Amino acid sequence: MSIEKLPKLNLDNTSNAELKTMVHALVEMVNNLIDQVECLKMEATELKATKNSGNSSVPPSHDHGRVKKNQSLRKSSGLKRGGQAKHKGSTLEITQSPDTIVDLSPCFCGKCGLDLEQIPQVLKQKRQVIDIPPTQLLYTEYRNYSKTCSCGHENKGEFPSNVKAPIQYGASVESLVAYLSVRQYMPFKRMKECLNDVFGLRISEGTLVNIIKRMAIKALPAYNQIKENIKDSHVIGSDETGAKINGSKGWFWVWQNLFNTYITVAFSRGYKVIENEFPDGFPNSILESDCLPAQLKTKAKGYQICIAHLLREIEYFIQLYDDDWSKKMKQLFHDSWELKKEIKVYTADIPIRTEIIKRLDELLADDLENQEVKVRTFHKRLLKYKFFIFTFLYQEGVSPDNNASERAIRNVKVKLKISGQFITLNSAMDFSVLRSLIDTCVKNGANIFNALKATALIPS
C-alpha cells in the first residue's frame, strides 16, 4: 500500500475517544509498514541470490529489471525454425567424371563357393565419396642458365618478376594467409598452428605479419579504385566504430555503396578524417549515416539519418517511461517504412507521404517541457535534423536505415573480439585495405581466394 505522511497533530483539545481512534489507525499503519518491510527484505534476499553484473560474470545487459537501450527491432515471423516449405535446398551432387574409380566385384559365390572370375559382371549401384587430397608442400625451383654467343656476349635467362629471393613463399601461401587473417579473423598464433598442422608449413608469426603487409601494399591499386568508385555514387552509406590500437583509442571508418566498400582507420572520430579522405565530399550523392555531427558536416547532395537508430532509442523511452509521444513517433516511423516498400514511382505528389510529413511536423511541434530529459534531448535532435529524416521517401535507392554500413564495420569488431587489438596503426591499415578488397568481392559475387591470389601475383 502507498503510505502518506500524516499532518501535524494538535492534541490540546482532543478527547479520549478521538485519541483511541488515532492510536488504532497508527497501529494499523505501523503493522502495514512492517509487512512491507518484510516483503522488501525477501525481495532483497532473492536479488542477492540472483547472479548479476555485480556478483558474477553476467553482463550488465542481463541484470534484473534493466531496460536495454540498444535492442533488436526484429519481430517474430511466426515461422518455425529451420528450412521453410518450398525453400531452395542444396545437396551433394554425383559427378560424371570421378578422379578415382574403385571396382567392387565378387571373386567367388557366397553360397556354393564357385570361382566367379570368368563370369560377366553387371553394374548394380554407384556411391561416391568427396574428400580433400593429401596436402604436401610443392617446391618449384627456377634454374637460370646462361649462353655465350659467338660474338662473346653472355646471355642469361630471366626469373619470373614475382620471384625475388633465393627462397620465398608462393602466391597460394600468401593469399591463404591473407584469407585466414582478414576474412576468417584468425589470430597469428592460431594461423601458425593451422598452417603447420594442415599443410606441414612451419612459418613464424613475424613472417605472417610481413606477408599481410606485402599483400596490403599489392592491393593498394584496387583499394584506391574502390575509393574512386564510391565518390560519385547516387547513395553512399558511412559509419565508424572504435578500436583499440596498441592500447590507444582509434577509429575505423567505412564508406560503401551497393558494389564497393572502402574502410580506413585513424586516431580521430572528427571531421578532419572525412576531409582528408574525401576533401570534395559527395556533391552528387545522398549520404546515409547516424547523427554524428562530423558525418552530417560532409558536403553532400542530401542526407538520410538512420531510422533504425532512432527507433531503438524510442523503444528504450517507451519501456522506461511508457511515453505516449514516443509511441506516436514509433508508429510514424513504422508507417514510413511500410510506405517505402509500396512506392514504385517517386513522383512529386504522393498523398500518403504528405500525410506522414504532416504527422512529423505535428509531433515535432509538441511542447515536451514536462517530459523526461532524455526524451526532450531526443526531440531537439529530431528538430535539428528534421529534413534528413524522410529523405528515403523522396529518393529511389535510399534506405531508411544504415544497416549496410553497420554490417561493413562489424567485421572490425569481430576481428577485435578474437584478437583483442591491433599492435600498430599500420597493421590496422593493412587490415582495412584487405578487408575493403574482400568485402567488395563479396558484393560483386567474386571468389575471394582467387582475388587474393591474383593480388599476390602482382610484382612487388
CA separation, residue 10 to residues 16, 23, 27, 198, 270 (Å): 13, 14, 19, 92, 67
For residue 245, give the nearest of 211, 273, 272, 268 by alpha carbon.
268
Question: CA 286 to CA 402: how far, in whole Å?
Answer: 12
Predicted pLDDT at 10? 66
Predicted pLDDT at 323? 87
Dihedral over Cα of 389, 393, 399, 400: its sign: positive
- Classify strands 248-256 and 235-245 as parallel, antiparallel or unpaired: antiparallel
State the virtual CA torsion across 284, 286, 288, 294 in degrees, nearest 10: 60
Question: CA 153 to CA 190: how far, in whole Å?
Answer: 52
Predicted pLDDT at 88? 74
Whether the Cβ atoms of residue 357 and residue 343 lie closer than 8 Å to each other: no
Dihedral over Cα of 113, 117, 120, 121: its sign: positive
Predicted pLDDT at 72? 64
- 216-304+402-456 fold: Nucleotidyltransferase; domain 5 (3.30.420)
Predicted pLDDT at 134? 86
DSSP result, 89-142: -------SS-S-------SB-TTT--B-TTS------------PPPP-------
Whether the Cβ atoms of residue 422 and residue 243 lie closer than 8 Å to each other: yes
Question: CA 84 to CA 144: how far, in whole Å?
Answer: 61
> What are the residues whose beta carbons fall under 8 Å from the beta carbon of 216, sequence distance 6 or more?
429, 430, 433, 434
Question: CA 248 to CA 243: how far, in whole Å?
Answer: 8
Helix (H) or strand (E) holding 445: none
For residue 390, give the nearest of 349, 348, 336 by alpha carbon.
336
Grid cell digits, residue 316: 528504450
Predicted pLDDT at 56? 45
How many C-beta neighbours within 10 Å does residue 8 have? 5
Domain limits, the chain: 216-304+402-456, 308-393
Whether the Cβ atoms of residue 265 and residue 428 lie closer than 8 Å to each other: yes
The tens-digit pLDDT sequence of the chain (460 residues) is 455 555 666 666 767 777 778 888 888 888 889 889 988 888 877 766 665 555 445 566 666 556 666 666 666 666 777 667 767 767 788 999 999 999 999 999 999 989 998 899 999 999 999 998 888 899 999 999 999 999 999 999 999 988 989 999 999 999 999 999 999 999 999 999 999 999 999 999 999 999 999 999 999 999 999 999 999 899 999 999 999 999 999 999 999 999 999 999 999 999 999 999 999 999 999 999 999 999 999 999 999 999 999 999 999 999 888 889 999 999 999 999 999 999 999 998 899 999 999 999 999 999 998 889 999 999 999 999 999 999 999 999 999 999 999 999 999 999 999 988 899 999 999 999 999 999 999 999 999 999 999 999 998 7
Predicted pLDDT at 81? 73
Question: CA 170 to CA 168: how far, in whole Å?
Answer: 7
Question: CA 197 to CA 205: how far, in whole Å?
Answer: 15
